[in-house]
Structure 1
Amino acid sequence: MRWNVLSAAALMATATIHARAAPASIAGRGDNGFDDLYGFSDALAEYYSLVSRHIYNTNRDSMPVCDLSKAELPSQASGLPAVPAGQNLVYVAIGRGTQNYTCSESSSSVGPSPIGALATLFDASCLAANFPDLLTTTIKVVLNYQGPNLPSTLPPANVAMLGHHYFSNNTTPVFAFDSAPPGRGGMAVTRKIKQMTAPAGSVPGQGNKGFGAVPWLYLQTIAGTTNNYMSVYRVNTMGGSPPTNCKGISGVFTIQYAAAYFIFSEG
């Protein structure tokens, strides 16, 4: 990540702060006032505040570079297996999409069954390497975006699309890096090895309302994988969990979620 990215974000923050001081005739419109007009949120305010702090603390003569060796899994991920020896971080991706479920019948005695997920992946590697707090806050912001159509460059951090996440069947997560730079694409076909409950305080869903954050995961690659991808960690999850039962629900339904994915390869 370069200085000009942070500077642009700071300018956006300044514009937002100025807009916050809108005339009473606009600001006093309640739900139809500034917040709706500009998409302002507590998460976005937190993001811009962090950007401003990083700009203030950054040495202009020694600007940050994208060194993935500096990117680390969150400390709370200690409940998952450690990264296997010999594996190196290739990407940190923000995933934004839906966790998908089905209810066999509308009944409080039946629980939803998971049937995979569908998400767009964005390359947040440099953000994770230099500003992990901004990575987390960006995930909070993008959770509240309305899908399914997302821009190829995801605001507010302006990270580029990396690929897509989907399931080849109900139990096989796939990560297709179809928007990666030439020679850095490929596909990770995985299976779940271990999961842990999302840490206390995780964002439960859009608007900070919902049924909870989906678990953190450790996935290993299986046959069909290319480019030596070996492991995937899903962390920093927000939203995605279903209700505890199927009362009032029948058939397939989706729950919005966002998360960070740390992707490792061999060698």
Structure 2
Amino acid sequence: MRCSLLLVPALSASTWAAPAFPKVAAALAPNVQAISDYFNLLASKVQQNRVAGLAPICDLSKLSPPAEAEALGQPAPGLYLKHVAIGRGTQNYTCDLSNSTAIPQANGAVATLYNASCVTSAFPDVSAMLTRASLHFDVADNAALQRLAPADLPVSGTHYFTDLTTPFFGLDSSQWQLGEGKFGKNASTTAPLNAAKGKKGEAAVPWLRLTAKGSGNTGGLQEVWRLETVGGSAPATCKGMPASFEIQYSTQYWFYASS
């Protein structure tokens, strides 16, 4: 039975007590539904487990992608789920200012990855709700404190692009070494119709299956799945947009590795 490297305090904060985090009130005001739904679901799960006397679970071996990800296929044979992270950052775009009807072009993404392995293995539905709620907390505040609001999850890595078609994920830190590497898109499917929209009503970016690009990946990392996306999509045209801009998003990244 395999299990990723985990921080027990993070699980305790996110599954056994409603965590405190700065500027919660400011985030609640315009987005009370998404955030209150998360805390209500969390409180319900915590109470159920306390009554049943159950301990938190950090085993990822029984998790599989949601049914809505069927079009992405299945992880390659022999791979196991090593880590689950919530990614919080921006999808980046460029525009041709000489043509207002031009379509914005993708220009990579930048995100901080937060360790959600324990909360996802224990309560997948809480994890999905947390992914939605986290969009309404400021990226800069999360980065400054190295924790993800509203669950106080610790940083587990970074995500960015080395070129327009090569996303990079780094899961090595002073606390643990989970691996890093470059990936390329293998499959894509439109986010479910009920996927949460972004801060300004932006549609959720597609769900993806990425596979290792080249032979330099470490930690056995072979596949990354982008699931439970929230926001991130660009407007239909460049009308009224600057030459380059960012759209905030949150998502779950599932990391599959070989033995």
**Do they superpose with TM above 0.5?**
yes
Q: 2:194 maps to which residue?
A: 201
Identity percentage of aligned residues: 36
In 2, the alpha carbon distance for the partners of 1:178 and 1:110 equals 39
In the other structure, the counterpart of 2:237 is 245
Per-residue deviation, 1:107? 2.9
2:48 is the alignment partner of 1:57: yes
Partner of 1:186: 179
- Residue 215 of structure 1 aligns to which amino acid in structure 2? P
What TM-score do the two structures reach when normalised by structure 1? 0.84
Provide the rounded CA distance (Å) in 2 between the counterparts of 1:107 and 1:148.
33
Using the size of structure 2 for normalisation, the TM-score is 0.86
- Provide closer, same or farther for how the CA distance between residues 90 and 252 of structure 1 changes in structure 2, counting only shifts above 3 A: same
SS of equivalent residue, structure 1 residue 84: coil
Compute the displacement of 1:185 (Å): 3.0
Aligned partner letter, 1:168 = T
Q: Which has the larger radius of gyration?
A: 1
Aligned pair 1:98/2:90, yes or no?
A: yes
Native 8 Å contact 2:222 2:256 kept in 1 = yes
1:43 matches 2:34: yes
- Between the aligned partners of 1:4 and 1:181, the Cα distance in structure 2 is 18
Report if aligned partners of 1:220, 1:231 keep a CA contact under 8 Å in 2. yes
> Residue 8 in 1 paired to residue 25 in 2?
no
Give the match for residue 168 of structure 1: 162
C-alpha distance in structure 1 between counterparts of 2:70 and 2:96, whole Å: 36
CA shift at 1:41, angstroms? 1.6
| Counterpart amino acid of residue 41 in structure 1 | V
Q: Deviations over 1:146-183 (max 9, x none)?
A: 2245231212222110010000001100001133733x
State the alpha-carbon separation in 2 of the partners of residues 246 and 37 from structure 1: 29
Going from structure 1 to structure 2, the CA distance change for 1:180 and 1:217 (only over 3 Å counts) comes to farther
Closer, same or farther: CA 164–195 of 1 in aligned 2, 3 Å: same
How many angstroms apart in 1 are the aligned matches of 2:109 and 2:255? 17
Post-superposition shift, 1:140? 1.1
Give the number of equivalent residue pairs. 243
Gaps in structure 1 of 5+ consecutive residues = 13-33
CA shift in 2, pair 1:198/1:37, >3 Å:
closer
> RMSD value over aligned CA atoms?
2.3
Report the Cα offset of residue 71 of structure 1: 2.4
User: What is aligned with 1:159?
Assistant: 153
